[in-house]
Structure 1
Amino acid sequence: MQIILCLAAAMICGLLLTRVVKPVHLPNVTGYLIAGLIIGPYCLGIFQESDAAVTDVLTDVALGFIAFSIGGEFRISNIKQIGTSSITITFFQACLATLLVDAALLACGFPAPLSLTLGAIAAATAPAATLMVVRQYHAKGEVTSTLLPVVAMDDAVGLMLFSISLPISQALASNAALTVTSMLLQPLLEIVLSLAVGAGIGLLIALAMRFFHSKVNRISVAVAAVLLGSALASIWNLSSLLLCMAIGAVLVNLRNDADELLEITDAWTPPLFMLFFVLSGAELDLAFVPTVGLLGVVYMVARSLGKYFGSFLGATIAKSSPNIRKYLGLTLLPQAGVAIGMAQVALNALPEYGTQIQAVVLTATLIYELIGPVITKLALTAAGEIQDSKKSKAKTEQSAGGAK
């Protein structure tokens, strides 16, 4: 009963904090994380470490649905329309962010498992905060058109990099001998098996949708598939993120009406995601925040440089316009859901470093979510894709006067 009461308190506190962050134009995830800090064991103590068992289950399910929704963005027809330029930019900015964070942390003397894991997490970008700015200010133009597919594909590349880096980090943390098998073959095998199992479940969903037509039955099919995928990933030591992403990707390409199911799923999952973020914030050990220090600063600086110069390099190779080369990287700083999910996975997979990784990622998320949308707005404004409201209004009135 106490656990149910904690969940209720978490949702209530999360809802209240969204009212606090809304007037200052911050995304809801920022409010959720702050709400978690408030109810956590290091503040009000409503949620205690002894309640962590329920968090593990909620985390697995929430991560499954986050990955499932990412997979839903990978319709082959849409990827063909995007073209090679966005794919090239996505690859270079994600990989350079990972490499720079790895190199910077190792150069500063931090342990290799910690450095490699944070490097992989650095690749992930939060599309929600970016999309909020685009929609709020009705941004239009070539930078915006390139930005949207990049943030959609970015997390998928990040998941791949994370699935490669985490087993290597685990081997280093356990002092196991590094071989070609442990560094390359095992991570690649995990990726292939995760995608294959997910594709199989996605195929089953596509077949099941022929027999279940009501919204109630279809949402039940989707929930069952994600739960099954998360469970199999745990049993077979696969990546639940990649597996569930494959479920969504296969489904959306096999069924023309898959968008309807994804919309139903999106309408069902917000309370689950709220609990996930609030409880993630509650798990942040505030005693570690002051120790984040150099580790957090190096992580954020190296990641920001990697995102900017990686997108610049990718845009240059793709022969994109100067505007895209100059401003796109500035819009890729926000980080939230998938990065927090990776940190939660690392918390269990790397117990020696998991608490530090979580503290860095959650602290960075709060900072990125505070400054990221502002920088995105400034970049799109400088690119000429967000019109100043006063100037736009004056221009409209002037045009109307000229028409008269």
Structure 2
Amino acid sequence: MEFFYNFSFDSIIFLSAYLIICISSFYLSSYLKKLGLPLVTGLIIVGVIIGPNFLGVISDIIIKEIDFIFDVSLGFIAFAAGSELFFKEIKSTFNSIKWNTISSILVTFFIGFVLVLISFLTLPFFDEIQFNIKIYLSLLCASIFVARSPASAIAVINELRAKGKFTSTSMGVLCLSDFGVILLFAIIFSLIKSIDSGSLEILNLLLILFEIIISIFIGFVYGFILNIFLSVSINKFIKYFLLVIIGFTSFIFSDYIRDISFSAINKEIIFEPLLICMVSGIFVINKTDKRLEFLDFIQVSGKYIYVIFFTLIGASLNIFLVIQVFQYAILFFLIRIVSLFAASYIGGYFAKDPLSYKLLGWTPHITQAGVSLGLIQLIQKEFYYWDNEIISQVSIILISSIIISQFFGPPIFKWALNYLNETNRRKQISIVKKKRAIIFGLEPQSLSLASLLKSRDWIVDIVIFDTNKPHKVPDGINQMKIDNIDKYNFDKIDYANANSIICFSSDDINEEICKLSHSTYGNKNLIVRINDYLKVDLFSDFNIKLIHPSDAIINLIDQYVRSPLGTSIFLGKEKDKEIRDIRLLNDKISGSLLRDLKLPQDILMLSIKRNDEIILSHGYTRLLKEDIITFLGSKNSLDKLTLRFDS
């Protein structure tokens, strides 16, 4: 209940001033990001600049008054870690993920513990630390070594449009490891508290097990509470603010249980708030229908929480001590790299992964961020009664090594993905094979359509019968001449491999084209502009799409009247929004329910075409290979989805 004892009117004033400062911090860190610095590192640097060691905009008194912000942020960070673990996405490669995750947690922890303890025992800098404290700190450091940053790895994967077994396995291990590190930290934390209090007995070991089981149970209860709040129809930002507060209440609840247990039985019962929040996040993602809204909460709120959290961490740093211990930060970084390499090789061996996966499996796990920094803050808060200088030194060594990982992690992971040929960066302009359209007839309307299709990355050929046409064809659009409508001439223009055919010729010529196409080349996507409405019956047997100019204009105006926004999107008038057909070729997605797919937030599935039948989709629609799916969304998200479905 320390929060209620320390919170005062001054805390509100200081908090308001700090939030105003964070606005500047966001813009300054964005500028540093343009210079090549990772966002987290930029925020920490801004925090150092405005902190007590430089400009003094934030004093030590302010940091002490608003240190509850750490708990508010940690609850959200645990929610975010839980949101990454979606079991249905990792089931296809579960065997490899299982062994690599177990190894990444246990082997990294064990080797990290041994090497850090050796460093503490042999380096003169740590001579003044008591032997038992060296063991405790080695255990805590090793548990922090296990933590990773899924967000950093996801950013690299999205940037390179990476796809493949190594990529999917890495993401599964990253997500499961976040759960593992919080569970491991909860065990180590409770164990050290018991040993340090001089009361390590069988009863205390059972108490630790009890604390962890009850923490997981409380996590499910919090998951139900989150689900209820997500169902409430109130302003989005008010709802998300309340969800952040729910995460903070886990820390208040944990402190309350500790206080009353100590008063009642003279022993602290510790329900781990990070474990509670993470389990609740996993519950919402996997067991409720509020997964997409919860992911939106993480995405929207994260921008603000991370600015507040990392800036305050930077302000709390003693920069002069950072310089003093920086060489040891490099040592800890290298120790962690060795631990990760051994863990990936051993995990890959048991999973029977290829040699290249064993040798490079450590590269996605280098970068650390929120969870690691949050655990360091908990160590500083809970073990304040140890020599304060020692805690400060070790904490700054760990934070500095995390900053180093921010610089080296992403480039090394990029190199590994390129080496394994799982990147598609060179295909950014054309993620899939370009589609081709053949337009019969040269006139203003056909030229306008050709230019529009070309702007959307189509290959466009205009076919003419008369070389005396006065219209000039724009650059990048092919012009072909044929003499007759027969199979010989159609094979010359590679008619069979065209995705769409558009006819702007006379009705008689259009009829001949339809007859030959229907009889020789089967069911093509053939669109015909009819000139004389009385000749509609001529095309009734060809299963084509007929458009009469006057009807098209009337229908268009009708749609604009009844649905102006929908019509604007359909016509491509809305900025960065388009409708796209994507063919499902990915075997791992085939057979999945729509509700189980982790689609981008700005994507909407409109319909599915299967065996020439249009299916209106809903959450329980099952996708099958070769389905043609119509999506609405932003171009960037549609590009990512095309890569995912087409691979």
Output the TM-score relative to the length of structure 1: 0.88
Mapped to 2, the partners of 1:390 and 1:195 lie a distance apart of: 44
1:61 is matched with which residue? 72
1:378 is matched with which residue? 415
How far did residue 85 of structure 1 move?
1.4
Mapped to 2, the partners of 1:128 and 1:391 lie a distance apart of: 21
- Given residue 337 of structure 1, which amino acid in structure 2 is its aligned partner? G
1:116 is matched with which residue? 139
TM-aligned CA distance change 1:335 to 1:197, over 3 Å: same
Mapped to 2, the partners of 1:360 and 1:18 lie a distance apart of: 26
Mapped to 2, the partners of 1:150 and 1:17 lie a distance apart of: 30
2:405 is matched with which residue? 368
- Given residue 409 of structure 2, which amino acid in structure 1 is its aligned partner? G
TM-aligned CA distance change 1:207 to 1:18, over 3 Å: closer
How far did residue 372 of structure 1 move?
0.8
- Given residue 418 of structure 2, which amino acid in structure 1 is its aligned partner? T
- Is 1:16 aligned to 2:53, yes or no? no
- Is 1:73 aligned to 2:84, yes or no? yes
2:304 is matched with which residue: 271, 286, 299? 271
3-state DSSP of counterpart to 2:358 = helix
Greater relative contact order (Cα < 8 A, sep 6+): 1
How far did residue 277 of structure 1 move?
0.5
- Is 1:158 aligned to 2:161, yes or no? no
1:261 is matched with which residue? 294
1:41 is matched with which residue? 52
Mapped to 1, the partners of 2:84 and 2:43 lie a distance apart of: 25
Q: Comparing 319-328 with 269-278, which one deviates more in the overlay?
A: 319-328
How far did residue 342 of structure 1 move?
0.2
1:355 is matched with which residue? 392
How far did residue 186 of structure 1 move?
3.8
1:336 is matched with which residue? 369
3-state DSSP of counterpart to 1:320 = coil
1:6 is matched with which residue? 18
Please tell me the root mean square deviation across aligned C-alpha atoms, in Å: 2.8
Q: Comparing 262-271 with 30-39, which one deviates more in the overlay?
A: 262-271
1:203 is matched with which residue: 224, 239, 243? 224
Contact 1:126/1:337 (8 A) holds in 2: yes
Contact 1:218/1:261 (8 A) holds in 2: no
Mapped to 1, the partners of 2:90 and 2:169 lie a distance apart of: 12
1:244 is matched with which residue: 273, 277, 287? 277
Q: Which structure 1 segments of 5+ residues have no match? A: none
- Given residue 249 of structure 1, which amino acid in structure 2 is its aligned partner? I
- Given residue 21 of structure 1, which amino acid in structure 2 is its aligned partner? K
How far did residue 101 of structure 1 move?
1.8
Contact 1:21/1:28 (8 A) holds in 2: yes
TM-aligned CA distance change 1:119 to 1:130, over 3 Å: same
Mapped to 2, the partners of 1:363 and 1:252 lie a distance apart of: 33
Greater per-residue helix proportion: 1
Query: Higher Cα Rg: structure 1 or 2?
Result: 2
How far did residue 244 of structure 1 move?
0.6
TM-aligned CA distance change 1:204 to 1:48, over 3 Å: same
1:176 is matched with which residue? 198
TM-aligned CA distance change 1:42 to 1:180, over 3 Å: farther
Greater per-residue strand proportion: 2
Moved over 6 A (4+): 390-393
Cα deviation 1:213-251 (Å, max 9, x = unaligned): 455375365335323323212322321110111111222
Contact 2:247/2:277 (8 A) holds in 1: yes
How far did residue 97 of structure 1 move?
1.7
How far did residue 65 of structure 1 move?
0.8
- Is 1:313 aligned to 2:346, yes or no? yes
Mapped to 1, the partners of 2:17 and 2:245 lie a distance apart of: 26
3-state DSSP of counterpart to 1:83 = helix
Cα deviation 1:307-355 (Å, max 9, x = unaligned): 1220111111011222321212122100111000000000111122432
Q: Comparing 55-64 with 200-209, which one deviates more in the overlay?
A: 200-209
- Is 1:100 aligned to 2:133, yes or no? no
Cα deviation 1:150-188 (Å, max 9, x = unaligned): 11222111111111112333345x462544444x43433
Cα deviation 1:356-397 (Å, max 9, x = unaligned): 23202210111110111111111111112235749999xx99
1:129 is matched with which residue: 146, 152, 157? 152
3-state DSSP of counterpart to 1:269 = helix
- Given residue 349 of structure 2, which amino acid in structure 1 is its aligned partner? T
Q: Which structure 2 segments of 5+ residues have no match? A: 1-12, 127-133, 258-269, 435-458, 460-492, 495-647
- Given residue 193 of structure 1, which amino acid in structure 2 is its aligned partner? I
Output the TM-score relative to the length of structure 2: 0.57
Mapped to 1, the partners of 2:114 and 2:364 lie a distance apart of: 23
Contact 1:68/1:247 (8 A) holds in 2: yes
Contact 1:198/1:229 (8 A) holds in 2: no
TM-aligned CA distance change 1:29 to 1:2, over 3 Å: same
